[in-house]
Structure 1
């Protein structure tokens, strides 16, 4: 490989040299406005509970991109520490690792301790935490050369035998990955101080990270977790109620777009009018436009799929169909709107005796519709996976749903 391609500036351009293209600027404005409205009527406690549900969805689609199709119910069972069927166990434990890291990122953000998501320290932490939780079956990878290489959690590629090829793309050699990632961290760390490019940087960094391909394995899933962390930092996290992975797995028109667009963004500079870097600025502009269009589409989809304005009604109908007390829906509605509720308030909310209220509440907890940290602590609403199709149709399926049409986009072929 030429010396020119082994220098960190190989990933330039990382940003746009001149003005931000108008279509991208418009997408950023739309994403900010739609995420600000997402789950606005929900109490933060209810939103946090629903965010856990979304983590499972995010994990499901992120792993699906890697060719690992894990049933959401198996992911939930793995998270609960339940027994798993032998054939489902490895993929379910892999998915559990993904959800755990996603959850830890959300906690860091909520507590104000989330560092720059494009820093070397954070990226290594994500990879380390992911693979520390991995089953043994996924602790090594077979490279194109036929060599089997151990995956060391939280370590970049450093050895010649760890050089990789991704389709037609040949990432930087292992010996210079550290230099490339230091350059990556410096360039994209600048976005933290520029509100106007924080959202755009999510798209650009996603491609450039995978272009470097710093780890022997796990690059795709780490990059999508980093994109989630960047969205939180950029103020478009939407309370954790939307998933970029679902959009990348499905695309705007077909599920092959992600691979095509990543490949398109690998294009070298096409002449003197195509920016000043090694890679094509026009291709980066196309990729960022597509990526942000996918993000906007997913925020809109989530709002339509969750239908927060009718969530209470759907929950009430479900409880009635399952034979719960006619007034049980009042407890769920109260928890949705006002968050955690002291158990002693149940009788007041329902307007019944304490004994009847305890019975109604106990049944809701037993069936997973309400939950608490201890048998006597306050309760909050829950969203049991067994009834996801009734509460939130089409989150894991391909059924049509009434949602705004995807943003207009002309694909590079």
Structure 2
């Protein structure tokens, strides 16, 4: 569910507004239910790449996120899963195919707003230097966190691919959060924060544009670009990360989630007090053997089976096998009741975003 949210917001940054319901349908292969098939498949590709990052990280096999091989692999995995319609782009008035995992070829010069990225012939040198620098900068726990915003901007500055650079940079940042130990096993991602900003959705592109500025004198860093604007971008980016971590903690706070869930069940099944009891028990304990339902509620075995049947058919409990232990589920139709503000602008009790540090 949170991967769908991350893909939704990453798409939104690109100007592609895709309904979460359509993303889930595309993931399940139900493309006949989808309103805009190419955009839904694009978001589904994002979900699958993030799932690969999260699963690889959980096994302890996550490659170095700023390595050239990993960055190319992200692009390749993303575009291998893209629909045919989105594997081409307009360049200099010509329709050009986007080659998965391949850098811009000779003659494929681009501009992004006011920014003119390095020429295609210089990309290998730039990207090799990028990987070398961030291999050193991410060697310690503090560096692994502080490097996330800078690497995010610098990869976009290089703009190594003909298309898909923004999505690759957000997936790379997600992988860097996992490598730094602050990824929450994939339960949060930077994409939601970048799409919404702290006060205004335009903040992300404004800060990215500012960090493209050239150095302002001898005291503004040692490279061609301004260190002060990169520092400002880093402070903003880290504050957005903190805001999203706090938001996710509030959404998954067990007491508050249990209250929202049991209230929903009580509204849907008035007069059936045992059903909220069962959901609360499974939510708190992670899973429940089917035979334990009667002990949780004090009902007869027959009544307990009936209670479980209602919750399973309603999509509130699920299991891996027909007779296996039950786990809690989060039905799509009630997502906003269970997790307000995940996609929309409902009003959950979430801490206000912290102010960016004064820089």
TM range (shorter): over 0.9
Q: Which moved more, 1:115-124 or 1:83-92?
A: 83-92
Q: CA deviation at 1:289?
A: 0.4
Instruction: Give the counterpart of 1:398 among 320, 345, 354.
Output: 345
Which residue pairs with 2:257 in the alignment?
311
CA distance in 2, matches of 1:85, 1:385: 15
Which residue pairs with 2:320 in the alignment?
373
CA distance in 2, matches of 1:71, 1:260: 26
1:75-99 deviations in whole A, cap 9, x for unaligned? 1111222243464211111111111
Show the 5 A alignment for 1:165-244.
165-244=111-190
Which residue pairs with 1:79 in the alignment?
27
CA distance in 1, matches of 2:139, 2:74: 23
Q: TM-score w.r.t. structure 1 length? A: 0.82
Show the 5 A alignment for 1:79-118.
79-85=27-33, 87-118=35-66
CA distance in 2, matches of 1:377, 1:400: 37
Which residue pairs with 1:23 in the alignment?
none
1:340 matched to 2:271? The reply is no
CA distance in 2, matches of 1:205, 1:398: 30
Contact 1:261 1:287 in 2 (8 A): yes
**Residue 141 of structure 1 aligns to a residue in which SS?**
strand
1:218-246 deviations in whole A, cap 9, x for unaligned? 11111111111111111111233223111
Q: CA deviation at 1:411?
A: 9.4
Q: CA deviation at 1:352?
A: 2.6
1:133 matched to 2:81? The reply is yes
Q: 1:330 to 1:191 in 2, by over 3 A?
A: farther
Contact 1:116 1:192 in 2 (8 A): no
1:161-200 deviations in whole A, cap 9, x for unaligned? x221111111111122122212111111223321121111
Show the 5 A alignment for 1:267-282.
267-282=213-228
Q: Which moved more, 1:398-407 or 1:375-384?
A: 398-407
Q: TM-score w.r.t. structure 2 length? A: 0.94
Q: Structure 2 stretches of 5 or more lacking a match?
A: none
Contact 1:158 1:177 in 2 (8 A): no
Cα RMSD after superposing both structures? 1.9
Q: 1:175 to 1:340 in 2, by over 3 A?
A: farther
1:236-295 deviations in whole A, cap 9, x for unaligned? 112332231111111112111111100100111111111111111111100100101111
The number of residue pairs the alignment matches comes to 358
Which residue pairs with 2:109 in the alignment?
163
Instruction: Give the counterpart of 1:150 among 84, 93, 97.
Output: 97
CA distance in 1, matches of 2:323, 2:251: 34
Q: CA deviation at 1:305?
A: 4.0
Q: Which moved more, 1:60-69 or 1:89-98?
A: 89-98
Higher relative contact order (CA 8 A, sep 6+): 1
Which residue pairs with 1:409 in the alignment?
356
